[in-house]
Structure 1
């Protein structure tokens, strides 16, 4: 699979398991992104690729600067997955509700955030949508989320080394407990990098067991 990056979004990171929307679209279709079968097999990725393919090539560059910790002010409801349409409309398609590919998880699971540039973190906060939220029909809002994990400080370079073709930094595993959920949900990541006031955001779709 060929890795292509553009602009200044080279070598930062994202949630890779469960895959963020744009990382998952790149992982599944990056070597075949013009395949028309994507429209039927993976329609939300198809609309995202058509809207702006650089959102997937730059899966590790979805961030905002100078947020000052006030995420709610920086990012309006309905634009959480695009980090308030950071970079203009590049990531806007990630906010669209619909049948996004969702990874099956248990109510207790481990999420992995990849720190490709070994920035470290002042914190990584993980949220899961409340039961009753429907990613297929609703845009994500702050009040839809429950905080389920907060790592606190992670020193630069700390994590599991990766020798993957595209993951050449370190991976950070975060244990999550999200009881009372079933069906399709969104896992939302806020990663405050420690090298600068630069914050990475990601929406990952998951499916919890029914019943």
Structure 2
């Protein structure tokens, strides 16, 4: 019995939502900002070395650790498809300062850790609650936008993928094709869930090889 209990504990540590308080979802590859911070520092979030090694995550953990523990809860209800009205410029990565401002630190401009991608890549989402999707919109920032020094606005985004419906599942993949992009960019994923008018707004930092 003890061996079975230990095995169960080990397996629970391996599932991607371990340590979170809500059951929704996020982009896991290229990792959304708060999911990436949770992956890298969730078991060591009080380590002062983070301030030097990963300063954008450091400021996020200092601002509100629940932004990382609840990496899968960055959504707004009732946007009715009018996303620029619900999520103003400069607030795209926090979903318009949703959830009482829990995710405000994700709008902070700076050198967030990036995931290396090619011109053609796949956005992978994890949907713990199996909400399904009416559609996904995937944007990438235009060439010339500098996420290290500029706040993200809707005009900085170019749509690179729009999907149809996805049946409820826990894993979704969206193939994205781009051209002429190099260096740092933000991949911005809008996930319109199917179970109600609930929309996720997710920033992932990438570096085009």
Find runs of 4+ consecutive structure 1 residues off by over 2 angstroms: 1-6
* Contact in 2 for aligned 1:5/1:58 (Cα 8 Å): yes
Q: Which of 27, 52, 55 is equivalent to 1:15?
A: 27
3-state secondary structure, aligned to 2:52? helix
Q: Which residue does 2:18 correspond to in 1?
A: 3
Q: Which residue does 1:94 correspond to in 2?
A: 106
1:27 has 2:39 as partner: yes
Distance in 2, matches of 1:153 and 1:29, equals 34
3-state secondary structure, aligned to 1:87? helix
Q: Which residue does 1:53 correspond to in 2?
A: 65
**Structure 2 stretches lacking a partner, 5+ long:** 1-12
Spell out the pairing of 1:125-204 with structure 2 (5 A cutoff). 125-157=137-169, 170-204=170-204
3-state secondary structure, aligned to 1:88? helix
| Count of aligned residue pairs for this structure pair | 194
Distance in 2, matches of 1:122 and 1:83, equals 18
TM-score (norm 2): 0.91
User: Which whole-Å deviations, capped at 9, do the CAs of 1:30-72 have from their partners, x for residues lacking one?
Assistant: 0000001100110000000000000000000000000001001
1:118 has 2:133 as partner: no
* Contact in 2 for aligned 1:134/1:184 (Cα 8 Å): yes
3-state secondary structure, aligned to 1:174? strand
- C-alpha RMSD of the superposition: 1.1
Distance in 2, matches of 1:4 and 1:28, equals 13
Q: Which of 71, 91, 94 is equivalent to 1:79?
A: 91
Distance in 1, matches of 2:69 and 2:186, equals 22
TM-score (norm 1): 0.90
Tell me by how many angstroms 1:151 deviates. 1.4
Distance in 2, matches of 1:122 and 1:89, equals 26
Tell me by how many angstroms 1:88 deviates. 2.0
Tell me by how many angstroms 1:5 deviates. 3.1
Tell me by how many angstroms 1:113 deviates. 1.1
Tell me by how many angstroms 1:140 deviates. 0.5
Q: Which residue does 2:8 correspond to in 1?
A: none
**Structure 1 stretches lacking a partner, 5+ long:** 158-169
Distance in 1, matches of 2:90 and 2:197, equals 23
